Structure 1
Amino acid sequence: MSIFPTYRPRRLRRTEALRSASRETVVSPADLILPLFAVPGTGVRRPVGSMAGVEQTSADELLRDAEEALRLGIGGVLLFGIPEHKDELGTGGYDEDGIVQRAVRLLKRELPELLVITDVCLCEYTSHGHCGILRAGDVDNDATLPLLARVAATHAAAGADVVAPSDMMDGRVGALRKALDAGGFEQTAILSYAVKYASAFYGPFRDAAESAPSEGDRRSAQMDPGNVREALREARQDVAEGADMLMVKPALSYLDVIHRVKEDTGYPVFAYHVSGEYAMIEAAAQRGWIDGPRAHEEALTSIRRAGADRVVSYYARQFARSRAR
């Protein structure tokens, strides 16, 4: 039954002040998490060709980026490490003096109030690019769990506030929680990549993290894009094993999954606005096909509107700078 002309929705769209007053979902810098890629050396800033504005940085330069993120009010940083040397067991990932461990110590010493999240996986550290111990062309799930637990424990010892397992091994949240508690890190939180799809949108990240598999793919570990009931089972399982927060990755192609996971669990949900999603907007904007800043903001708004409490975004600094003007 129509109630026109009494109800005129356009009344609230006439000016920016009215639109702002009636806006349901608002994105702020505090809602965003900035990914950073640590490499050995000093004074290193190495652009990632497939992601405009994203760089691999040495710890001293990474500190500068983190300082800016904190100053702009961004909600935290997510650290990835690219070691100088790789091997079949990814030993650089759980080296107490590894690239991420050194970066964490520096950040927590200089910026103790900054939220520091660390990626827990082996793909950046293995010579074959897979997320664990490779046997007969496949990752040995159970043999990989102790190594992932060691990675998490060394990150916690360095001062990480949150460890984020992204490997998608079965049982890894429980293994991490047990190792953290045994090491006296009961207060270190786990952000589980509970719902991580075998997506076509990861290519630029693999350039940045130098983590592309040398052969095969990761579909035996990562979820099929057609599945949402499985996503809910994965999320519930990780909660049962001790996860404090849950990640859905990618974000834009899985807005319905973000919503379902949030509604089903009630847990804090992060969503990863992944490299391919970011790079597509940047590429189209560079060609003048779309308004880049507006497209990025619209994408972030959609992810928050779907139910994500925090969004991991390569656009976090640009967004926050626009709010600081």
Structure 2
Amino acid sequence: MFKRKRRTRIHGSLRDLVRENRLDIHDFIYPLFVVEGQRIKNEMQSMPGVFQMSLDNILKECEELQRLGILHILLFGIPHSDKKDLQGSEAYNPDSIIPQSIRVIKQKFPDMFITADVCFCEYTNHGHCGILDSVLHTVDNDKTVEILIKQSLILAQSGVDMLAPSAMMDGQIISMRKALEDNGFWYLPIMSYSTKFASAYYGPFREVAQSTPSFGDRKGYQEDSANRREAILESLNDEEEGADILMVKPALAYLDIVRDIRERSLLPLAVYNVSGEYALLKAGQRLGVIDYEKVMLENLLGFKRAGADIIISYHA
């Protein structure tokens, strides 16, 4: 006799009862892009509904997010172009845009949980994620780790709730963890961009973050899209080095990697539902070829089903 699996699908209440995965407002982290100045709210052409905002408008956005029940944000800073230099020194200036924003947001909205990106692509005048190696024509790993530590400590001193290093430098997690411990910030969690691919899906982000490399690409330090075993190894190494939360970025094209890591680690696992994934759905909505709300929710549910606990998304 065949199994009648439809018996648990016919009645909506029973479908709800046996549903294996659910989306919850507390699963989400919402990215915000902070620029210097006042009364600035620039919508991105490639990402409708996503804005570069000055701190006064960021505060208004936080008020709305809190009203909606979204209490987790991820901050990216965009300094004036004349403050960018070869090593992104504005990233570890205690009075730069992100440390300022953290202090003010925590004062106005103490319940808002603030994660800060730890990287240099927005702060360097060449758009790469750290100090350049003039011989290899890529980023110098060890020199960049040194300034990632500086940036981390400045963010910690500013009152950030969690650090999210995205530079993909070898040894960055163990180095940051040691520096945090040595300076009394043992309690600060690290959500590592532990498996971050060199992806074409990041294109719209580079518009909003003004971080397009002035030469070459980031394939010398970000993960090769073709490599499964290496992708798993990246996250497991970061777990060994002291990461508290792992992450796969992008999400949609890499759900096999999300599942691979979920089956090998007991740590919380995040995915970054990146700008290109968001922009494609918005373009489909604009053209009228998809039901945006339904496709969006199906994608987000797919991230959960693959094993993600946390979803960083502009859809949030």
TM-score, length of structure 2 as denominator length: 0.96
Q: CA offsets, 1:31-54, max 9 Å, x none?
A: 111000000012210111110100
Q: Distance in 2 between matches of 1:17 and 1:200?
A: 41
Aligned to 1:110: 108
Aligned to 2:192: 192
Distance 1:288 1:43, change over 3 A: same
Aligned to 1:73: 69
Q: Distance in 2 between matches of 1:245 and 1:147?
A: 22
- 2:190 aligned counterpart, secondary structure: strand
Aligned to 1:175: 175
Q: How does 1:90-129 map to 2 (within 5 A)?
A: 90-129=88-127
**Equivalent residue letter for 1:212:** T
Q: CA offsets, 1:130-169, max 9 Å, x none?
A: 0000122211111111101111111111111100000000
Q: CA offsets, 1:221-259, max 9 Å, x none?
A: 111111121122111211121111111100011111111
Residues 71, 111 of structure 2: 8 Å contact kept: no
Aligned length: 312
Residues 70, 76 of structure 1: 8 Å contact kept: no
Q: Distance in 2 between matches of 1:21 and 1:288?
A: 33
**Equivalent residue letter for 1:110:** K
Q: Any gaps of 5 or more consecutive residues in structure 2?
A: none
Q: Distance in 2 between matches of 1:23 and 1:74?
A: 24
Q: Distance in 1 between matches of 2:44 and 2:150?
A: 29
Give the C-alpha shift of residue 210 in structure 1: 0.5
**Equivalent residue letter for 1:201:** Y
Q: CA offsets, 1:39-76, max 9 Å, x none?
A: 00122101111101000011121122122222222251
Aligned to 1:233: 233
Q: Distance in 1 between matches of 2:225 and 2:245?
A: 22
**Equivalent residue letter for 1:229:** R
- 1:285 aligned counterpart, secondary structure: helix
Residues 34, 97 of structure 2: 8 Å contact kept: yes
**Equivalent residue letter for 1:3:** F
The partner residue of 1:28 within 16, 21, 24 is: 24
- 1:193 aligned counterpart, secondary structure: coil
Q: Distance in 1 between matches of 2:290 and 2:86?
A: 43
- 1:192 aligned counterpart, secondary structure: coil
Give the C-alpha shift of residue 214 in structure 1: 0.4
Aligned to 1:12: 8
Aligned to 1:287: 287
Q: Distance in 1 between matches of 2:200 and 2:231?
A: 18
Residues 259, 306 of structure 2: 8 Å contact kept: yes
**Considering only aligned residues, what root-mean-square deviation do their CA atoms show, in Å?**
1.2
Q: Distance in 2 between matches of 1:68 and 1:298?
A: 25
Residues 161, 188 of structure 1: 8 Å contact kept: yes
Aligned to 1:87: 85
Q: CA offsets, 1:160-200, max 9 Å, x none?
A: 11000000000111111122122221111111111000111
Q: Distance in 2 between matches of 1:228 and 1:71?
A: 41
Give the C-alpha shift of residue 18 in structure 1: 3.6
Give the C-alpha shift of residue 13 in structure 1: 3.2
Q: Distance in 2 between matches of 1:302 and 1:16?
A: 20
Give the C-alpha shift of residue 280 in structure 1: 0.3
The partner residue of 1:62 within 50, 58, 63 is: 58
Give the C-alpha shift of residue 15 in structure 1: 4.9
Q: Distance in 2 between matches of 1:182 and 1:64?
A: 36
Q: CA offsets, 1:85-123, max 9 Å, x none?
A: 211110111110111111111111111111110000000
Residues 268, 309 of structure 1: 8 Å contact kept: yes
Q: CA offsets, 1:7-34, max 9 Å, x none?
A: 2x33433454343233211101111110
Q: Distance in 2 between matches of 1:28 and 1:267?
A: 19
Aligned to 1:42: 38
Residues 31, 74 of structure 1: 8 Å contact kept: no
**Equivalent residue letter for 1:129:** G
Q: Distance in 2 between matches of 1:304 and 1:287?
A: 28
TM-score, length of structure 1 as denominator length: 0.93
Residues 83, 124 of structure 1: 8 Å contact kept: yes
